[in-house]
Amino acid sequence: MPILCDALEDNIAEIVGEWKRLTTKPPWATLTTSQWANHLPPLLHAMIDGVVCGTGSHDARRRVVEWAIRHGSSRRTLGLPLETIFEEYYQLRTATWHLLTTRAGAKLASGVVGEILRLDAAIGVATLASLRGYHRLEVEKTREWDQVIDDLVREWEHTSLTLAEGWERDSSSQTV
Using an 8 Å Cβ cutoff, are 86 and 72 in contact?
no
Residue 74 included in any domain: yes
Confidence class for position 106, pLDDT limits 50, 70, 90: low
Instruction: Pick the range with the lowest mean pLDDT from 26-30, 44-48, 106-110.
Output: 106-110
pLDDT at position 1: 52
Residue 102 included in any domain: yes
**Structural domains in the chain (count):** 1
Residue 164 included in any domain: no
**Residue type for position 106:** A
Q: What is the pTM of this model?
A: 0.78
Residue 119 included in any domain: yes
Distance CA 163, CA 151 (A): 23
Distance CA 130, CA 76 (A): 10
Instruction: Pick the range with the lowest mean pLDDT from 108-112, 143-147, 158-162.
Output: 158-162
pLDDT at position 108: 62
Residue 111 included in any domain: yes
Mean pLDDT score, 101-128: 77
Residue 127, domain extent: 3-27+35-159
Confidence class for position 132, pLDDT limits 50, 70, 90: very high
Residue 88 included in any domain: yes
DSSP three-state, residue 162 = strand
Residue 149 included in any domain: yes
Residue 133 included in any domain: yes
Best-predicted range by mean pLDDT (24-28, 93-97, 107-111, 119-123): 24-28
